[in-house]
Amino acid sequence: MNRALRIIFSRYGIVVIILVLVLGVIALATERQQTPLDGGVSNSGSSTSEASSEAFTEDDGLATENCEGDDCYPDVELPQEAVDRSVEFAEVWLNPNGHNADSWYDSLLPFITDEQAELLQGVDPISVPATAITGDPVPEGAKVGIPMDTGTLTLTMTEGSNNLTGTGWLVSAIDWEQS
């Protein structure tokens, strides 16, 4: 028994154990790739994946295989509520009350998605490149362009919820174009 344990816990024994584990994981992964998404059961009771793959090949109209850039998504007209919400965000983003970085960030949270909140964490409001909104918002698809004194703030709007608000229109991306 002592000799067997010495062999198992030697460097060669450990290499063999790791090799067996890696081969086992590869075998399980290969088997999982060959299993259809419906668990191997189709409508006819056979285990072919033809029935389940047909559901994924229908065109949903949202994107194509050769899709590039902003043309991948259908033209969506934002409701006025989304445009108004984007302007509210822009007004807070400009930091008219002179908040410090933490309170400015907190004031933005009700207007942005959780993903965007992560990206804005630690940003100093001094880095905001504008001081005033100079024109009416221009909605285009899911985006709203807001003219400012030094450029255009483009906000991508999405309907959803974050940790602070219920379901509504939120800013999911912020883009700045200097004029």
What's residue 143's pLDDT? 94
Query: Are residues 49 and 10 part of one domain?
Result: yes
Q: For residue 57, what are the CA distances in angstroms to 66, 93, 162?
A: 15, 43, 32
Domain around 90: 80-178
Instruction: Indicate if the pLDDT at residue 49 is higher than 90.
Output: no
Phi-psi region of 98 (alpha: psi -120 to 50; beta: other; left: phi over 0): left
Query: Are residues 92 and 39 part of one domain?
Result: no
Query: Are residues 173 and 110 part of one domain?
Result: yes
User: What average pLDDT does the segment 65-94 reach?
Assistant: 78
Other beta carbons less than 10 A from residue 76's beta carbon: 13
Compute the 3-state secondary structure of the chain and give helix, strand, coil in percent, each to the nearest 5. 45, 20, 40
Instruction: Indicate if the pLDDT at residue 42 is higher than 70.
Output: no
Which comes out higher in pLDDT, residue 3 or 69?
A: 3
3-state DSSP assignment of residue 71: helix
Predicted TM-score (pTM) of this structure: 0.59
